[in-house]
Chains A and B, each alone.
Chain A
Amino acid sequence: MSFFQVNNKCNGCLACVQNCPATALSYRDIGDKRKLLHNMTRCARCGNCWRVCPQDAVEFQHLLDGPWDDVTIMDLVRCVVCGEPLYTMDFSNTLAHKLDKNVEDLCPMHRKTLSMDTWKRVFPEKTKPEEVKK
C-alpha cells in the first residue's frame, strides 16, 4: 500500500504532479487509463500536493503517521539469570569473533556479582545473615 493516497474526489488533473518540488509524483497514460504514481524515496513530505489539490483529494495524513515496517527479525539473547534482553545472536557472534572467545550471556549486574561467591568464601564471617551472627 502506498503512503501517498488520494480519495475518490481525485479527478486526475495532475496539479500535484506539476507542483511537486521533489518530482516524487508522476503519471502514465496507458490505453484508456490514467495512472497516478508516487515515489516515496523522492518524496520530501512537504505537503505541497495536499495544498495545491483543487479537489481536496490528497490524504496527506498517511504520509505523517504511517505504519512501522519490520526491517529484520533476529534471535535475542537474554541474561541467563534474570532474563534481561542483552543482544542478538549475531551480535554475540561478532563479539566472539573479535574477542576470540565466547562471552557469557549475563547482564552487567550479574557479571559484577560473579565474583561475589569468591569474596564470600574469603570473608565468611562478614557475609553471614544478621540473625546467625548474633
Chain B
Amino acid sequence: MTSKKIEVNPVNCTGCMECEVACSLKQAGVNDSELSRIHVLNVNRDDDFYLPTTCQQCEDPPCLASCPEEAIYKDDELDRVVIDSERCIGCKMCFSACPTGAMGFDEAGGRAFKCDLCGGNPECVRVCEPKALDYVEPYKPQYSRMCKSANKFFSVMGRKAA
C-alpha cells in the first residue's frame, strides 16, 4: 500500500518528449504520442517552458463518477484510478469529464485509456533525464486545509460560472 504520485517539476523539463515515447511504447507497444498517457505542453512555442501533464489520480475522480458501466475504479493498493477495459464501452463520458484533459481515447480501439502508474514503476519517471518527473510520496500534512480552501474557491467560482 502506497500513495506515491508522479510529481511534475516543469522548470527541469527540457521538452525532449522522452516520457511520451517511453509511455506509448510501454502501454500501447507503438511510438505514438496520441496513445501516450503523458503529454508535454509547450503552448507558446517561443518560450522554453514545458509542462508535462498526466493523470492526477484524483481523490474524488470525475471520470469514475461519470462512467455508466462502472468500468473505472479506485485501486487502493497504489492509490490510483484504473480503467477496466473489458467493461469500457467507449462512450467517452470519462474523456469529457476529466477536468485536466488527462483521459485518453484510442479511436482505433474504441476504448478510453489513462495513466495507471505502470503498476508502481512509472516508465516516464524512469526515463526522465532532467528529473522533471519524480515518483514520490506526496507532502500530506496540509492536504485537508488545501482541500478545504480549494472547495471554498470552487464554490465561489462555480457559482460565477453558472
Considering only residues 91-142 of chain B, those with a C-beta below 8 Å from chain A are 92-93, 95-103
Q: Which of B25-33, B43-51, B75-83, B145-153 contacts A (4 or more CB under 8 A)?
A: B43-51
Q: Name the contact of B44 in the complex, choosing from A95, A98, A108, A129 (C-beta under 8 A).
A: A129
Residue B41 interfacial (CB < 8 Å): yes
B residues with a Cβ closer than 8 A to A are 10-11, 39, 41, 43-44, 46-49, 51, 53, 62, 65-66, 68, 92-93, 95-103, 158, 161-162
| Contact indicator A113/B43 (Cβ below 8 Å) | yes
Docked Cα-Cα span, A109 to B39, in Å, equals 10
Q: Contacts A126-B11, A129-B47 given: A112-B39 contact, CB under 8 Å? A: yes
Q: Contacts A95-B66, A110-B101, A111-B101 given: A87-B47 contact, CB under 8 Å? A: no
Docked Cα-Cα span, A94 to B41, in Å, equals 30
Q: Name the contact of B96 in the complex, choosing from A101, A103, A109, A113 (C-beta under 8 A).
A: A103
Docked Cα-Cα span, A109 to B161, in Å, equals 21
Considering only residues 1-60 of chain A, those with a C-beta below 8 Å from chain B are none
Docked Cα-Cα span, A92 to B98, in Å, equals 13
Q: Contacts A98-B65, A119-B49 given: A103-B97 contact, CB under 8 Å? A: yes
Q: Name the contact of A108 in the complex, choosing from B62, B68, B101, B161 (C-beta under 8 A).
A: B101
Interface size classification for chain A: 20 to 34
Residues of B within 8 A of A86 (CB): 96
For B63, the closest partner residue in chain A by CB is: A99
Residue A116 interfacial (CB < 8 Å): yes
Q: Contacts A98-B66, A119-B49, A123-B49 given: A107-B43 contact, CB under 8 Å? A: no
| Contact indicator B47/A127 (Cβ below 8 Å) | yes
Residues of B within 8 A of A115 (CB): 51, 53, 100
Docked Cα-Cα span, A119 to B9, in Å, equals 10
Q: Name the contact of B47 in the complex, choosing from A102, A107, A128 (C-beta under 8 A).
A: A128
Residues of A within 8 A of B97 (CB): 95, 98-99, 103
B116: min CB distance to chain A, Å = 18
Q: List 27 A-B contacts (CB under 8 A).
A: A86-B96, A92-B96, A94-B93, A95-B66, A95-B97, A98-B97, A99-B97, A101-B158, A102-B161, A102-B162, A103-B96, A104-B99, A108-B95, A108-B98, A108-B101, A110-B101, A111-B98, A111-B101, A112-B39, A112-B41, A113-B43, A115-B51, A116-B43, A119-B10, A119-B51, A127-B49, A129-B47
Docked Cα-Cα span, A113 to B66, in Å, equals 22
Docked Cα-Cα span, A107 to B105, in Å, equals 12
Docked Cα-Cα span, A84 to B44, in Å, equals 19
| Contact indicator A123/B10 (Cβ below 8 Å) | yes
Q: Name the contact of A107 in the complex, choosing from B44, B46, B101, B162 (C-beta under 8 A).
A: B101
Q: Contacts A101-B158, A126-B11 given: A109-B101 contact, CB under 8 Å? A: yes
